[in-house]
Amino acid sequence: MSLVGEHLRLQLAPGRIAIDDVSVQLNAGEVLALIGQNGAGKSSLLNLLSGEHVANAGQVRLHEKPITDWPGEDRARLLAVLPQQHSLNFAFRVAEVVALGRYPHGTGKRRDDAIVAEAMALCELSDLAQRNIHEISGGERQRVHLARVLAQIWDAQPEGHRFLLLDEPAASLDLHHQQMLFQAVRRFARRGVGVLLVVHDLNLAARYADRVLLLDHGRAVCTGRPADVLTIDTIYTHFGLSVTVQPHPHHDCPLIISH
């Protein structure tokens, strides 16, 4: 069971094609990294797959059913999305924000509280549980929203496999919490969750993704294992960057070194 987009096309304005005939499949239990330069269409593709935008052509299906046919709460139990920007106008405590992820579920306060506590612990937020969301740093807020979407899809669902879509989730995190985030992503993938993430750091994509999809000007250039996509020629052609690519000394993945 999978999240599939077929021949997707998205026009944001007259003459501005954000996504042009892109097909993508996110499978349960895998991590798929979307890479490409700024403006390549990464966020637009994620928004199509999440149902935030409706394609001008093509179709997105969640478990063989058009994503637009899913009732909101049913879809939210299977599909969680972490966008680039978050806005909260109320002075919620950290634990209350994380608990918003449990809104689509009817599992009861005791179970929801346990999941919220586990999600906060995973994201190293337990000490901040009672802090006002507006009184913590930008990186800490990013971790709060990560915990919220993890809490949203924490448990397996009878309707099918779960999916997690993350748009530049490590952008405001320090090195320690970047590693924490990607390790949490791998943990959820091992539990059968399909994870799609937009990432700029090619070495993070190489280390943590099972597959990489390269976009350029709204079109899919290539997709495959990190070692097959992240080559010297491909990086130079689509990023304008001269690099050396060699085996990582500690992990089974490529290591990209810029010149």
Report the alpha-carbon distance of residue 30 to residue 21 in Å, rounded.
23
Mean pLDDT across the stretch 6-35? 95
Q: What pLDDT, on a 0 to 100 scale, did the predictor assign at position 172?
A: 86
Average per-residue pLDDT for the chain: 95
Sign of the dihedral through C-alpha 136, 34, 71, 189: negative
Q: What pLDDT, on a 0 to 100 scale, did the predictor assign at position 89?
A: 72
Burial class (CB in 10 A: 0-12, 13-18, 19+), 73: exposed
Q: What pLDDT, on a 0 to 100 scale, did the predictor assign at position 196?
A: 98
Q: Which domain CATH number covers 52?
A: 3.40.50.300
Range of the domain at 215: 2-258
Report the alpha-carbon distance of residue 167 to residue 148 in Å, rounded.
15
Number of Cβ within 10 Å of residue 81's Cβ equals 19
Residue 148 vs residues 37, 73, 94, 141, 167: alpha-carbon distances, Å? 28, 15, 10, 11, 15
Q: Does the pLDDT of residue 224 top 90, yes or no?
A: yes
12 or 213, which is more confident: 213
Q: Which residue has the tokens 């990582």?
A: 248
Mean pLDDT lowest for which of 90-94, 193-197, 244-248?
A: 90-94
> Residue 169: what residue type?
P
- Percent of all residues in the chain with a pLDDT value above 70, rounded to a whole number: 100
Number of Cβ within 10 Å of residue 221's Cβ equals 16
Residue 232 vs residues 210, 223, 243, 245, 255: alpha-carbon distances, Å? 19, 15, 6, 6, 11
Among residues 32, 72, 26, 77, the alpha carbon closest in space to that of 52 is found at 72
Count of domains for the chain: 1
Q: What pLDDT, on a 0 to 100 scale, did the predictor assign at position 86?
A: 74
User: Which conformational region is residue 39 in: left (phi greater than 0), alpha (psi within -120 to 50 degrees), or beta?
Assistant: left
Q: How confident is the model at residue 91 (pLDDT cuts 50, 70, 90)?
A: confident
What six digits make up the tokens of 25?
């499949």
Beta strands in 28-124 (DSSP E): 31-35, 57-62, 65-66, 79-82
Of all residues in the chain, what percent are helix, strand and coil, respectively (each to 5)?
Answer: 40, 30, 30
Report the alpha-carbon distance of residue 91 to residue 57 in Å, rounded.
41
Q: What pLDDT, on a 0 to 100 scale, did the predictor assign at position 9?
A: 97
What six digits make up the tokens of 77?
């139990």
> Residue 93: what residue type?
R
